[in-house]
Amino acid sequence: TYLQCHNLTDECKELLRSLASENGWLPTSHHLYQGFWYITRHLNGVLSAQHHFKAQDSDIFLLSQPKSGTTWLKAILLALLNRSRYSEPDRQLLLDHPLLQKNPHDLVLHLETRLYVEGTNPDLSSFTSPRLFATHIPFVSLPESVKESKCKLVYMCRNPKDTFVSLWHFTREMSPNDIGTNTLEEAFDMFCRGFSMFGPHWDHVLGYYKASLEMPHKVLFLKYEEMKDKPSEQLKRLADFLGCPFSREEEADGRVDEIIRLCSFNNLSKLEVNQTGKLLTGHENKSFFRKGEVGDWVNYLTPEMVERIDRITEEKFGDLGLKF
Ligand code: A3P
């Protein structure tokens, strides 16, 4: 069982005895902890991060649900924060950009799936300021110091229908030989019931959306669709929020567009490293690049499915005016 197949901390093993568990999506169990679903390994990482991670005021966090545009935002944040290093004194330096050599997931690490996944307290002393981290942990379960410090949180969310379709493809690819994979209908039902990795999807979004309304200086709420539609506007918004606005010279120099091009689906997905490489965890890099479009759900969902999921979205988000 799941208790035997992982390097789990005693605390995690103990806790697992009292948590509701469910199977689906992947050939591994999911557990309901503080209102959200985690696979066993990730739960180990969440608990460890909650215990050990100490935020610094200058830290920057990327937050999201899986399949909401995490890979893209990792690339954008890296390019934005390191922009002076990779353009001065000459543009040739762009060719050395880390994003051209590595997948964004090996450059910006997730707390629960990478840094803390073994249940240990990793040495973060080599991180330079501002430290950049990512996590799918919902707002309620963030390590306390993340909420209490002045660190900045950038949340990326995406239309629930596209997020679902992307998640369905991704989990099928991650499951060897179709073991444990679900039909589209089964997966859709699970998603709508709130059972998905780091879900319920809507509660996750709401946690961060409310936090962004209450603490606009701490939490920035981005939408995948807006990023696609008006990338330069959104990138400048992000830079302003992080306290590193583009200067007039940089804008005139085309630096905003340069970052958008570097991080675009077309550019990143065609790089050799992302076509044939693997993450340090063994994941295929190409699994993070599928279509990268808005509205692909029309090719998968029936009118009944659309009605069901739209109704949930309206019920959950309608009062707050959050629309997709
Ligand atoms: P699709 O499956 O709809 O194509 P995440 O990074 O959170 O895992 O999300 C993955 C989704 O983002 C996938 O969506 C993927 O194709 C898309 N994506 C990856 N890189 C992107 C980029 N640079 N620009 C836009 N979308 C991107």
Quick one: average pLDDT of 185-200? 97
Q: Is the peptide bond before 130 cis (omega within 30 degrees of 0)?
A: yes
Tell me what the mean pLDDT of segment 303-308 comes to: 98
The reported pLDDT for the residue numbered 86 is 78
As to burial, measured by CB atoms within 10 angstroms (0-12 exposed, 13-18 middle, 19+ buried), residue 283 is middle
Tell me what pLDDT residue 196 has: 97
What mean pLDDT comes out for the span 151-155? 98
- Cα 61 to the chain's mean position, in Å? 10
Q: What is the mean pLDDT of the chain?
A: 93
Instruction: Give residue 33 CA to ligand 1 midpoint distance, Å.
Output: 27
User: Could you report the per-residue pLDDT of 17-34, keeping only the tens digit for each?
Assistant: 999 999 999 888 999 999
Q: What pLDDT is attached to residue 281?
A: 83
Q: What is the DSSP letter of 177?
A: G
pLDDT of residue 90: 60
Among 6, 30, 136, 169, which one carries the catalytic annotation? 136
Q: Does the structure show a pLDDT above 70 at 6? A: no
In the prediction, which pLDDT does 85 show?
Answer: 82
The reported pTM is 0.96
State the average pLDDT over residues 232-255.
Answer: 96
Reply yes or no on whether 136 is catalytic: yes
Is the pLDDT at 94 greater than 90? The verdict is no
User: What pLDDT, on a 0 to 100 scale, did the predictor assign at position 252?
Assistant: 94
Q: How many helices (H) and strands (E) does the chain have?
A: 16, 7
Dist. CA 300 → ligand 1 center (Å)? 17
Contact between residue 44 and residue 2 where contact means Cβ atoms under 8 Å apart: no
Share of the chain above pLDDT 90, in %: 86
N-term to C-term CA, the chain: 40
291 CA distance to ligand 1 middle (Å): 7
| 163-184 residue pLDDT tens | 999 999 999 888 776 566 789 9
64 has pLDDT over 80: yes
